[in-house]
Amino acid sequence: MSVASDQLRFLARLIARPKHTGAVAPSGPGLTKAMAAQVDAGGTLPILEFGPGTGVVTQALIARGVAPARITAVEYDAEFAARVRERCPGVTVIQGDAFDLDKTLGARAGDTFAAAVSSLPLINFPVEMRDAFICQVFKRLMPGAPFVQFSYRMRPPVAPPPGVTLTRAAIVWLNVPPARVWVYRCK
């Protein structure tokens, strides 16, 4: 698949379901690299990825050295989920709702993860849903593990819950539109 076809696919999804897509194009290479840089490539614990879309962040994680078998990607859209399966052999791709992790992860709901990376358009959802989502994620992360989220806005898309720190890890000016990478960590 070409970059142009991915952009058309994103645009079609944005028109069809703007709340769930939230972008006019896949994340650019600078953003994907900045997000992947926040994850320790070593280790054996699995990594959660939310909203992989066409798989550009997934591919950046693999390029960083994360073994594909460590990545569990949760994608809402069936066609995008199929693309990630096709482009990233060895990655576990689950088509489901990231806002209902117990149901979506099924037997893996109790697993502990070394990191979570999210490209979800969180700002499109009510604050209560965002807060509940990040709490669900932190229940599954090992202590000190990063939850990496990008946003096009100047401010983070979710206020950190009690006991969680927040840092802006990067500003990627060359992304369309420019984006910020936020890292949340449980103390």
Tokens (6 digits) for 185: 């960590």
Q: Could you tell me the strand order of the sheet in which 179-186 lies?
A: 92-95, 71-75, 47-50, 115-118, 146-151, 179-186, 164-172
| CA–CA separation, 42 and 87 (whole Å) | 22
pLDDT of 27 reads 79
HEC string of 102-157 equals HHHHHHHCCCCECEEEECCCHHHCCHHHHHHHHHHHHHHECCCCEEEEEECCCCCC
Domain boundaries, the chain: 28-186
| Contact status, residue 33 vs residue 60, Cβ threshold 8 Å | yes
Residue position matching structure tokens 């909203």: 51
pLDDT tens figures, 8-51 = 554 555 555 555 445 555 679 999 999 999 999 998 999 999 99
Burial tier of 41 (Cβ tally within 10 Å: 0-12, 13-18, 19+): middle
pTM: 0.87
pLDDT tens figures, 43-92 = 899 999 999 999 999 999 999 999 999 999 999 999 999 999 999 999 99
| CA–CA separation, 85 and 61 (whole Å) | 15
DSSP H helical segments within the chain, as ranges? 3-16, 18-21, 29-36, 56-64, 78-87, 101-105, 127-140
CATH no. of 28-186: 3.40.50.150
